[in-house]
Amino acid sequence: MQNISEIEELIKLISKLPGLGPKSAKRIVLKLINNRDELVKPLAKTLVEVYKNVSRCKICGILKSSLLECNYNNCKIVEKKYEKICVVENISDQWSIESSNIYKGYYHILGGNISSVGKKKEDLLINSLVERVKKNKIDEVILATSATVEGQTTAYYIQDSLKDIEVKITKLAQGLPIGGEIENLDDGTLISAFKNRSKLNINST
């Protein structure tokens, strides 16, 4: 292989993507340079647009286009459509739950969990969750954090943050495999964890 620095840099970057190593990165790069106009050009344009325009909402954590306000029927609740908020760690968890079709309601994406490397509770969107629950008179907060120590610590902290609000708090069923991250669960497990979720606080209706 010739040493072309641009190509080497591209291989290096692509091999950082999940599920790809240097070998598959090389195959992807070859495919790209053989399809300059069909792939490289639109890909470069789209990447720039994503970088410029797509970010996480600072209130609810979902992905949004900066060209639009975060309404998506999620954050700026103009007309209340749902009674529930499902709290997850990452966007990939939201996507898994959406594709299982078990849940219809608002989402709140924390942006990680409390003990993950370098993440403290101040880095997570917990204060804005409390505000959303209060402001929108939500009936139920479903804690769908991972069945890991970090995920459970995060769930406990959220439960404590919501203790002064009249709202039912539930947690996904214990049937989740220990160490199970929401995004890795199959639909069947996810559906039964939602159906059998347990109530955590006793003083609400």
Site residues (CB under 5 A) for Zn ion, limited to 13-32: none
Give the closest residue to 143 by CA, choosing from 86, 74, 203, 199. Answer: 86
CB 107, min distance to Zn ion, A: 9
Task: Note whether 75 binds Zn ion by CB under 5 A.
Answer: yes
Task: Note whether 10 binds Zn ion by CB under 5 A.
Answer: no
Sign of the torsion angle spanned by Cα atoms 113, 127, 92, 26: negative
How many helices (H) and strands (E) in the chain? 7, 7
State which residue has the least CB distance to Zn ion: 75
Site residues (CB under 5 A) for Zn ion, limited to 124-143: none
Task: Note whether 87 binds Zn ion by CB under 5 A.
Answer: no
At position 185, the amino acid (one-letter code) is L
Per the structure block, which two tokens stand in for 162?
Answer: 């919501």
CB 149, min distance to Zn ion, A: 29
Count residues near Zn ion (CB under 5 A).
5
Q: Nearer Cβ to Zn ion, position 60 or 141?
A: 60
Q: Is 38 exposed, middle or buried (0-12, 13-18, 19+ CB in 10 A)?
A: exposed
CB 65, min distance to Zn ion, A: 12
Write the interaction track for Zn ion spanning residues 186-205; mark x where CB under 5 A is met and - where it is not.
Answer: --------------------
Question: How far is residue 128's CA from residue 126's CA, in Å, rounded to a whole number?
Answer: 5
Site residues (CB under 5 A) for Zn ion, limited to 41-60: 57, 59-60
At position 60, the amino acid (one-letter code) is C
Helix (H) or strand (E) holding 88: strand 84-88
Q: Could you list the residues that contact Zn ion (CB under 5 A)?
A: 57, 59-60, 70, 75
